[in-house]
Amino acid sequence: MNPTAMRFGLWVAFVPVLIAVIGLALQGLAMTDSALFFDWAFYLEVLVAGLLQGVLYSLVALGFVLIFKASGVFNFAQGSMVLFAALTMVGFIEMGLHWTLAFVVTAGVMVLVAIAVERVVLRPLVNQPHIILFMATIGIFYFLDGFGQMLWGSDVKMLEIGIPKQGLTILTDVFEYGIRINAFDLVAALVGAALVAVLAVFFQYTRVGRALRAVADDHQAALSVGIPLKTIWAIVWSVAGIVALVAGIMWGSKAGVQFSLALIALKALPVLILGGFTSIPGAIVGGLIIGAGEQVAEVFLGPLVGGAIQEWFAYMLALAFLLVRPQGLFGERIIERI
Amino acid sequence: MTYGEKHIGGTLLKVDNITLAFGGVKALTDISFEIREHEILAIIGPNGAGKTSMLNVINGFYHPQQGRIEFRGVERKAMRPHLAAKQGIARTFQNVALFKGMSTLDNIMTGRILKMKSNIFQQAIYWGANQREEIAHREVVEKIIDFLEIEAIRKTPVGRLPYGLQKRVELARALAMEPDLLLLDEPMAGMNVEEKEDMCRFVLDVNDEFGTTIALIEHDMGVVMDISDRVVVLDYGRKLADGPPAEVRANKDVIDAYLGVSH
pLDDT-based confidence at B2, cuts 50/70/90?
very low
- Amino acid letter at A178? G
Residues in A closer than 8 angstroms to B106, CB to CB, are 210, 213
- How far is residue A142 CA from its own chain's centroid? 20
Which one, of A254, A256, A251, A293, lies nearest residue A271 by Cα?
Answer: A293
Residues in B closer than 8 angstroms to A226, CB to CB, are 82, 85-86, 113-114, 177
CA distances from A185 to A91, A164, A182, A252, A323 (A): 24, 9, 5, 13, 32
Closest Cβ–Cβ partner in B97, B113, B159 for A335: B159
Query: Taking the model in full, what pTM does it have?
Result: 0.75
- Predicted confidence (pLDDT) at residue B213 exceeds the cutoff of 90: yes
pLDDT at residue A337, as a whole number? 57
Q: Which residues of chain A have pLDDT under 50?
A: none
Average pLDDT over residues B217-232: 89
Q: Mind telling me how many Å the CA of A226 is from chain B's nearest CA?
A: 4
> Over the stretch A92-121, which tens digit does the pLDDT of each residue have?
998 888 888 999 999 999 999 989 988 898
User: Which residue of chain A is at minimal alpha-carbon distance from B176?
Assistant: A225
Q: If you average pLDDT over every residue of chain A, what do you get?
A: 83
Alpha helices per DSSP H over chain A: 3-32, 40-71, 78-94, 99-116, 130-152, 183-199, 208-217, 219-224, 229-255, 265-275, 280-296, 302-305, 309-324
A200 and chain B in contact, CB less than 8 A: no
pLDDT-based confidence at B1, cuts 50/70/90?
very low
pLDDT at residue B119, as a whole number? 57
> Over the stretch B148-190, which tens digit does the pLDDT of each residue have?
999 999 888 888 888 889 999 999 999 999 999 999 999 988 8
Residues in B closer than 8 angstroms to A210, CB to CB, are 102, 106, 109-110, 113
Q: If you average pLDDT over every residue of chain B, what do you get?
A: 86
Would the CB atoms of B124 and A206 count as touching at under 8 Å?
Answer: yes
Instruction: Please provide the DSSP assignment of B86-127 as one string.
Output: HHTEEE--TT----TTSBHHHHHHHTTGGG--S-HHHHHH-H
pLDDT-based confidence at B117, cuts 50/70/90?
low
pLDDT at residue A302, as a whole number? 79
SS3 content of chain B, % helix, strand, coil (to 5): 45, 25, 35
> Over the stretch B39-95, which tens digit does the pLDDT of each residue have?
999 999 888 888 999 999 998 888 899 999 998 888 887 778 888 888 899 999 988
For chain B, give the percent of residues with pLDDT over 70.
91
Secondary structure in 3-state letters for A290-305: HHHHHHHHHHHHHHHH
Rounded to the nearest 10 degrees, the angle between the axes of helix A3-32 and helix A40-71 is 140
- Predicted confidence (pLDDT) at residue B221 exceeds the cutoff of 80: yes
pLDDT at residue B118, as a whole number? 59
User: Which residue of chain A is at minimal alpha-carbon distance from B58?
Assistant: A224
A336 and chain B in contact, CB less than 8 A: yes
For B8-112, strand residue ranges (E) read 11-22, 25-36, 40-44, 66-71, 74-75, 89-91
> Over the stretch A233-247, which tens digit does the pLDDT of each residue have?
888 889 899 999 999
Q: Which residues lie closer than 8 Å to A261 by C-beta, 6 or more apart?
A: A79, A82, A83, A86, A248, A251, A252, A255
Helix (H, G, I), strand (E, B) or coil at A76: coil
Mutate which of B91, B110, B169 to test chain A, going by most A C-beta atoms within 10 A?
B110
Angle (CA) B192-B195-B198 rounded to 5° is 150
pLDDT at residue A102, as a whole number? 92
Tell me A333's DSSP state: P
Pairing relationship of beta strands B181-185 and B89-91 according to DSSP bridges: parallel
Residues in A closer than 8 angstroms to B91, CB to CB, are 224
Would the CB atoms of A225 and B111 count as touching at under 8 Å?
Answer: yes
Phi then psi for A172, rounded to 5 degrees?
Answer: -65, -25
